[in-house]
Amino acid sequence: MAGGALAGAGAAFKGSVSTVIAVAPPGARGEALAGLFLAAYASLAVPVVGLGLATQLLSPRDAVLGFAAVLVAVVAVVGRRLLGTHRVKNTDDR
């Protein structure tokens, strides 16, 4: 099960790299890829460091519950924004 999750993350990252290369102008591909790698490393490091700091102030159980609550809130906000922005107009209605 863990191998499948890791393979999925690798495929998603490869897709991200391919998209950045396809979208970025040839002269700015290095900058665009640097931004992608910065975002990827930050998205891996910030939650771990934050959870580590939270366990210094709270019990591990409370820190993980707080982390889960923040994660659910972020997913809800991002999901609502992503799902709400792509509304297709019906051209048949006049």
> How much of the chain, in percent, has pLDDT values that exceed 70?
81
**CA dihedral for 28, 32, 35, 37, sign (positive or negative):** negative
Can you give the pLDDT at residue 89?
64
In the predicted model, is pLDDT for residue 87 greater than 80?
Answer: no
- Alpha-carbon gap, residue 20 to 31, rounded angstroms: 10
Does the pTM of the predicted model rise above 0.95?
no
Residue 13 binned pLDDT confidence (cut-offs 50, 70, 90): confident
Residue 31 binned pLDDT confidence (cut-offs 50, 70, 90): very high
Mean pLDDT value of segment 40-47: 89
6 or 45: which carries more pLDDT confidence?
45
Collapsing DSSP states into helix, strand and coil, what is residue 79?
A: helix
How many C-alpha atoms does 10 have within 13 Å on its Cβ side?
6
How many C-alpha atoms does 13 have within 13 Å on its Cβ side?
15
- Alpha-carbon gap, residue 66 to 53, rounded angstroms: 12
